[in-house]
A and B are shown apart, each in its own frame.
Chain A
């Protein structure tokens, strides 16, 4: 059975749909329009360590299509200034083994900032009124408060807005006013959290918390520790539903977290993960998973999210993939029962294959304690070279060098009605996705110079 994995299937070495070696097929191009602006990335600049604090988290809520989302989110969304395209940074034509991506992305970011400064002298200007509106809307939302509070509140909102207006234009040259902005924004964030003044969607996704805290915690790990190199980010559709299918490895699901971060920072979208039952059984884990936008991996939820235009991530290997021994690294396990394919076909969304190299080496799984796993009701209790030996220190992942490559989208909208109920078709598409990921993994591994750099 595993022997079949390594037979290339007529793709002339290069994985993907069709036989094009380097450029995406026409179908793939139409799915990933090149007109995507990359302004959001500037907020997630990898280079500036202190900067994220200055960023009012409200403005970084790009595309949450929610009927009850207040005007603040959409207003801020529309305000995003159009910035000329700069795609050389992370396109798939970059050969493997070049510089680490953080450097390149930093260049791109300074370039972004530069263009914004020159072509739009008051590029930050529109943010001021937006913030004022935001504040006013918030004050209005807290309607039923006593009159004396209301007056004070409006003052405060205006004050806050004035802070933004005063601070934003000189963001680049005056570090001090920028710091003040950060303090105001941080206080605002804390107040929103303490008073419950934030929104979650039907699945419990808390965009406020995710972009302000979770992503910020994960970012240094991705950029400094794993030095993730991102390829083919343009294969993620800028909008609309899409299903990202990835390999799963690494004993702990860090690859899922890192993929989410990469998608958020580079494509400006939230990745809505489909998680195993176990995730929602465990205390704390379930809470964080729901708030991070995950939901149970079942057909109903997947279809609902895809139909709602979300970018959904699935790791069909599940525990078989993440808990496989180190000697089987980069050998894809069975891809579930193909439920993810049916969901994609039913909703007609493209499937984006994603290959992660590097995650296999973070916790090399050399053994398992089945008795303890049974006792704790876990799928496995890992033994790694460091884990039970060094105690909690064994939880530090090895600093392998990661590459995440997004492949060409596989279209599912051309199938006739009822195709999702044709098991043979579903299995074929499933195998196509699996083969694509497996081949990409082999290609990436061939070009990898070393595990750690």
Chain B
């Protein structure tokens, strides 16, 4: 068959892993990885091309390598190594536009797979309990990753109108959490790792997590099996933020909603965690998506539930001071002490 796949964003761990997985697939002849930075991880048999998708050179790469499938993985959540927020937006939006322009010109490209995010649904008090793919956000995300994702998706929709012959698959990932996922791909891991986790007072959002293995398997399937459309990708089940932090044994400090912005700014200065307003909205109102279409139409059932994803993350990164094991042993001691105190009295009662 001899398919040639181009993967963008291979300098980030997720992009690199996606490319490596595709190389291993028998039906794929060659995988070309593109990024503006050299990859940190070993790319194996992936052919790395150092190119910036923000300039027209990407069209040349497509032509020279005879690419038939483009996997766009470089819409990123956080600044990571790329610089400030402006640079991230530049890569996300302008990079996508340039890539799509190149794809539109190309006569070889027949498939486009976009890694998007459930952030496009926004997060507000007026949200339905679960989002399905054709729902629009109740409140348009105005900042950050959410806005970038929404814009990128709108450009991709425009592209698929102009090139109806190209099969477009949009995979809306829930927040990905796992070992080796840096702030580039999701901010949540870093947020959960704070020594004292700020939460929004009086709100306990419902969150859904995605294990990187499931996300990458979905990307793989989109390339190999080809089932065009838009799909939510998330682990089954829901956890509330308080539940997640308790399971991780983290200490929390509730901050009243008006003060969260200030805390976010302080965190931005102290760490590279960026609590932009779309993140704050997520941590206030939460977001849950329906994955029926993924299972029934797309044909992939995520193997990691939200709870299992969290457990895997906790195993890899360690737990906080309020460890469940410690609390369990305290409980056992209390129960034992109570039983010891009770036995003599129970005896006299029987006698």
Contacts and interface: CB of A to CB of B under 8 A. Distances in A.
Interface stretch (A227-235, A294-302, A365-373, A388-396): A294-302
A403 B201 CA distance: 37
A68 B130 contact: no
Interface stretch (A141-149, A259-267, A416-424): A141-149
A200 interface: yes
Interface stretch (B39-47, B69-77, B214-222, B322-330): B322-330
A112 interface: no
A318 interface: no
Interface residues of A, number: 53
Nearest to B289: A202
B203 A283 contact: yes
Contacts of B256: 283
B346 interface: yes
Contacts of B324: 142, 195-197
Contacts of A144: 311, 315
B240 A153 contact: no
B108 interface: no
A362 B253 CA distance: 37
Contacts of B342: 176, 180
Nearest to B348: A176
Interface stretch (B13-21, B48-56, B231-239): B231-239
Interface of A: 67-68, 142, 144-146, 149, 152-153, 156, 159-160, 163, 174, 176-177, 180, 183-184, 187-188, 190-191, 193-198, 200-204, 206, 277, 280-287, 290-291, 295-296, 298, 300-301, 304-305
B201 A290 contact: no
Contacts of A200: 206, 238-240, 243
A196 B129 contact: no
Contact of A284 (B202, B329, B339): B202
A152 B246 contact: no
Given A206-B240, A305-B129, 14 more contacts: A144-B311, A180-B346, A184-B338, A188-B331, A191-B327, A195-B247, A195-B327, A196-B247, A196-B324, A203-B130, A203-B206, A280-B285, A283-B256, A286-B125
Contacts of B236: 67-68
Nearest to B322: A194
B305 interface: yes
22 contacts: A68-B307, A149-B329, A152-B329, A159-B335, A180-B342, A180-B346, A184-B338, A187-B334, A191-B327, A195-B249, A195-B324, A200-B238, A200-B239, A202-B130, A202-B237, A202-B238, A280-B126, A283-B202, A283-B256, A286-B125, A287-B202, A300-B132
B349 interface: yes
Contacts of A298: 128
A310 to B, nearest CB: 11
B133 interface: no
B244 to A, nearest CB: 7
Given A68-B236, A145-B325, A296 B126 contact: yes
Given A145-B325, A203-B129, A68 B346 contact: no
A285 B130 CA distance: 20
A204 B246 contact: no
A191 to B, nearest CB: 4
Given A67-B236, A200-B243, A191 B203 contact: no
Contact of A201 (B135, B238, B328): B238
A183 B340 CA distance: 13
B130 to A, nearest CB: 6
Given A196-B247, A283-B203, A301 B129 contact: yes
Interface in B124-146: 125-130, 132, 135
Nearest to A283: B202
B305 A68 contact: yes
B125 A287 contact: no
A183 B328 CA distance: 15
Given A187-B334, A280-B125, A300-B129, A149 B325 contact: yes
Interface residues of B, number: 52
Among A285, A287, A295, which residue has the most Cβ atoms of chain B within 10 A?
A287
A146 B285 CA distance: 36
B242 interface: yes
A257 to B, nearest CB: 19
Contacts of B305: 68
A176 B346 contact: yes
Nearest to B350: A174
Sorted from nearest, which 8 A-B pairs have the closest CB atoms?
A283-B202, A196-B246, A195-B324, A196-B247, A196-B243, A284-B202, A280-B125, A281-B125
Contacts of B200: 283
A206 B328 CA distance: 21
A42 B265 CA distance: 54
B162 interface: no
B340 to A, nearest CB: 11
A365 B278 CA distance: 40
B161 interface: no
Contacts of B213: none
B335 A287 contact: no
Contact of A287 (B204, B238, B328): B204
A215 to B, nearest CB: 19
A156 B240 contact: no
A180 B339 contact: yes
A144 B342 CA distance: 33
Interface string B184-204: 000000000000000011111
Contact of B335 (A160, A296, A301, A305): A160
Interface string B266-293: 0000000000000000000110100000
Nearest to A175: B349
B127 A296 contact: yes
Contact of B328 (A195, A202, A301, A305): A195
Contacts of B206: 200, 202-204, 290
Contacts of A305: 129
Contacts of B339: 159, 163, 180
Nearest to B242: A196
Given A144-B311, A152-B332, A281-B125, A194 B246 contact: yes
Contacts of A195: 246-247, 249, 322, 324, 327-328
B335 A156 contact: yes
A313 to B, nearest CB: 15
Contacts of A296: 126-129
Contact of A153 (B245, B249, B328, B349): B328
B257 interface: yes
A287 to B, nearest CB: 4
Interface string B303-320: 001010001000100000
A277 B328 contact: no
Contacts of A153: 328
A176 B349 contact: yes
Nearest to A145: B325
Nearest to B331: A191
Among B127, B200, B256, which residue has the most Cβ atoms of chain A within 10 A?
B127
